[in-house]
Homo-oligomer: A and B are copies of this chain.
Amino acid sequence: MFELGVVYRNIDRADRVAADGLASFGSATVHEAQGRVGLMKTYMRPIYPGAQISGTAVTVLLQPGDNWMLHVAAEQIQPGDIVVAACTTDNTDGFFGDLLATSFQARGARGLVIDGGCRDVKTLQQMGFPVWSRAISSKGTVKETLGSVNIPVVCAGMTVNPGDVIVADDDGVVVVPAAQARKTLDAASAREANEADKRAKLASGVLGLDMYKMREPLAAKGLKYID
């Protein structure tokens, strides 16, 4: 359960090699590699196309219309982190803009994942600071009510613990628990090697029906062909 009004300063970050290495596989492959789990809801979209990152989560719990905790979180960022911000209720306000991005980037953050709104999107694209959010909104926020930093949060339907690995690209945002990061990196590598071969076969006209040997199980389920 959420604790309000606390900041955990010392968190265990996932294995660095895995946290850095998962980016190159992308969220779809990583999602499959860890057993088809960990994807945030699909309303989380990049504010500009093309970014593909991974890193370790610094988590934030926000109150609606209030971005105070993002300022508190800035101090907890280390190079290679991605900030993950949840909110105690559905809210689309513009919690984050170019000033906070400048601060986050100076601290070494690679991006932000926020179950809320974001603004200054043109400047953020020019800065190369990617954000995945539920909305884009010019609406600013107040600094009145405490949330927390580095507690477990539910962001866009997925639990994120501080230090977990986040993988984000145009397909969405996937969470890899710190304890599974290395194993998932290995599984993703194996999967990708495997995919290149499949792609070549399919490109040559081989059908998935044959490559995956689906004809027999389809017939067993009763599929009928009608001419």
Binding site for B on A (CB under 8 A): 1-2, 4-10, 26-28, 30-32, 34-39, 41-42, 45, 48-50, 52, 63-66, 68, 71-72, 74-75, 88-94, 97-100, 102-103, 105-107, 117, 119-122, 135-140, 142-146, 152, 154, 157-159, 169-172, 174-177, 180, 195, 198-199, 202-205, 207-209, 212, 214, 217-218, 221-227
Assess the B146–A145 pair: CB atoms within 8 A.
no
CB distance from A112 to the nearest CB of B (A): 15
A209 touches which of B39, B72, B136 (Cβ 8 Å): B72
What are 14 A-B contacts defined by CB distance under 8 Å?
A1-B38, A1-B176, A1-B180, A5-B222, A6-B225, A7-B224, A9-B226, A27-B138, A28-B119, A42-B137, A72-B209, A121-B170, A143-B212, A146-B221
List 20 additional A-B contacts (Cβ < 8 Å) besides A36-B139, A138-B171.
A4-B37, A5-B223, A7-B224, A27-B138, A28-B138, A28-B140, A31-B139, A36-B140, A37-B88, A45-B136, A64-B89, A74-B207, A89-B91, A94-B171, A106-B204, A120-B171, A137-B171, A137-B172, A139-B172, A144-B144
